A and B are shown apart, each in its own frame.
Chain A
């Protein structure tokens, strides 16, 4: 085990021994307070404008957005999207209480399975924890109700996001993780648009290893 020798080498380089108690306490304080640095002005907006900025940025990054007035309209929006894209009406869905509360049965042609995604799933429906307006980014912390594979394995990922969950900057998302979830989730994904690669001749091609399509169904719950 080289731990002690590495720490000793670091301290030798820094020309000091282990940090004195008061300095270590100061650093522990910084960790506990996790101060923010500069947050860009672009997302310092009224909420309705943050929602509009989020939508613009998702579309700029080759994602798509459908806005609906209430949760009850989600199944229709999902069915319409799948139909328009010529995709099968079959999806694997996150077992999240908010998604379960949606009246899917009103769309009997939509075949929905709950759970994690497998390699054979073509469409996934994920629960959106937060939307970051700054760059049109979805923030998706993992949990039993929000499996990570739903973000990765299906060709098409549909994320149901409440407008009230849209914030300006990433830092506001972190604050929500700390207050609403507590301990750091095993996995927190920030997703900005569908998968892509520019490795072939440095030219962008959509649809690398992750989803080829990313669609956000945005529920206007702020009225």
Chain B
């Protein structure tokens, strides 16, 4: 299992801010994602209406999830496939290993799958003598570097061209040492050549799924490279890893969701390859897998149904929330310490590994609301993060100092007269103390805040006083 470093979010964030390579990558890539999405959305006048449609489809699917999963399984069986229901990560790992062993697999190619990261399937296969090969370019280098993805659709978001060169030189020692990496293209060509033989040699191909379709028993993957399709077409056995909330009713429903997915993710109108796979090779077919297994994973999802966090299960993993998040943009994905970064990770991670471990994540938000405003399925991410903050407080998980300060504030907040008196006194007192400089460089008990900025000195009046004055003058009327 991946050991979550989410409890150390504060230290991780400090390290990320001081990491020059990461900061270079964030400065380069952040703005381009935002601009591309904006252009794609501007090109589709119906986009906002389609967000409502997408939300409604997912809500309908979740409200009837038991029905649709059973309908889905019946169709998978009809088309010659098999569904392996797995309650948690351990069961899913066992199921995948058993299928690989039955197939006598030595090497397994893999398409990018976040649930695969979540259940840490690669480590498990390796421990049992099976070599997994990530084939998505970003995942490939992450695997070579023994890292976690730093972004859910761009796993190598944190790397620069020099990192690619360095990693490839260390990994591909059979190639001439004096070869040049002058442009990105050189990296791409080397990866293509290296991976082509892996695609052809693999015994089993493992992909994720963007959607499962109850109407037909299909799994859907979306890629630009074509690696997912090579992975699910060439080996004799295809394994699909999918969590239960991926199931939608019909081809039409999936199609509507696809219209908002690529635009929200990469800013493309449609990804290069959007592929619907249904069961095994048919009679007369010249290619395609002879076995088709769906490892259907709960791992904490069903426990979110009926709670404040049910809406999170609508997520279609487009990454728009993290692309638009000022916190992600400052510290990158690894600081979040587990599989899912950014706002969606700040809501999902506490649900999957516990708020005791991941409580910092929902606190790492400015609540600017940008994530919710770009979410294609309209998940109220700030509200859900607030729910986690409440849970953290209720369970006495937040630090003592913070709790004491909140308790003091709450005492005054419940007594408006006293509150006004106290703020007036504080504004007056601070005004006296700092009138000369106009700002405080240091404040007792607020060193963390003033460490990065100065606090302006109050100019005498409180907000209430000014508001009352304005009312009397007839300004705010």
Contacts and interface: CB of A to CB of B under 8 A. Distances in A.
Contacts of B44: 40, 42
B144 to A, nearest CB: 13
B379 interface: no
Contacts of B244: 6, 10
A147 to B, nearest CB: 4
Contact of A170 (B32, B91, B255, B310): B255
A7 B303 CA distance: 11
Interface in A146-161: 147-149, 151-153
A107 to B, nearest CB: 25
30 contacts: A2-B86, A6-B298, A13-B303, A13-B307, A15-B306, A18-B66, A24-B67, A30-B249, A34-B215, A37-B53, A38-B53, A116-B286, A147-B285, A149-B233, A170-B255, A184-B79, A184-B278, A186-B79, A186-B285, A186-B288, A187-B277, A187-B288, A189-B229, A189-B275, A190-B275, A195-B272, A197-B188, A200-B156, A201-B160, A210-B226
B46 A40 contact: yes
B325 interface: no
Contact of B85 (A1, A19, A115, A198): A1
A106 B286 CA distance: 28
A115 B286 contact: yes
A197 B66 contact: no
B46 A6 contact: no
A205 B183 CA distance: 10
A10 B302 contact: yes
B107 interface: no
Interface stretch (B57-65, B350-358, B416-424): B57-65
Nearest to B85: A3
Interface in B67-108: 67-71, 79, 85-87, 91
A149 B285 CA distance: 11
Contact of B278 (A19, A31, A61, A186): A186
B155 A199 contact: yes
Given A36-B252, A37-B256, A202-B157, A209 B214 contact: no
Given A1-B85, A11-B66, A201-B161, A186 B286 contact: no
Contact of B215 (A24, A31, A61): A31
Nearest to B92: A2
B281 interface: yes
B276 A187 contact: yes
Interface in A3-45: 3, 5-7, 9-15, 18-19, 24, 27-28, 30-31, 34-38, 40-42
Interface of A: 1-3, 5-7, 9-15, 18-19, 24, 27-28, 30-31, 34-38, 40-42, 57, 61, 115-116, 119, 134-135, 137, 142-144, 147-149, 151-153, 170-171, 174, 184-203, 205, 207-211
B348 interface: no
Question: Which 10 A-B residue pairs are closest in the complex by CB-CB distance?
Answer: A210-B226, A13-B305, A208-B225, A144-B284, A9-B302, A199-B138, A13-B306, A116-B286, A202-B29, A2-B87
B364 interface: no
A11 B199 CA distance: 41
Question: Is the contact region of chain A dominated by helix, strand, or loop, or is it mixed?
Answer: loop
Contacts of A143: 282, 284-285
Contacts of B199: 209
B281 A186 contact: yes
A200 B282 CA distance: 38
Contacts of B239: none
Contacts of B287: 116, 142, 147-149
A15 B310 CA distance: 13
A6 B83 CA distance: 13
A210 B306 contact: no
Given A31-B250, A184-B216, A208-B137, A119 B302 contact: no
A198 to B, nearest CB: 7
B261 interface: no
B224 interface: yes
Contact of B226 (A36, A200, A208): A208
Given A11-B66, A41-B46, A202-B33, A196 B71 contact: no
B65 to A, nearest CB: 5
A184 B217 contact: yes
Nearest to A194: B272
A208 B227 contact: yes
Contacts of A42: 44
Interface stretch (B117-125, B263-271, B394-402, B440-448): B263-271
Q: Which of A9, A42, A190, A209: most chain B Cβ within 10 A? A: A209
A117 B192 CA distance: 17
Contacts of B195: 209
Given A142-B288, A195-B224, A148 B135 contact: no
A174 B215 CA distance: 12
Contacts of A192: 268-274
A14 B65 contact: yes
Interface string B293-327: 00010100011111100100000000000000000
B200 interface: yes
Interface in B220-268: 224-227, 229-230, 233-234, 244, 249-253, 255-256, 258-259, 266, 268
A207 B226 CA distance: 9
B250 A30 contact: yes
Contacts of B215: 31, 34
A161 to B, nearest CB: 17
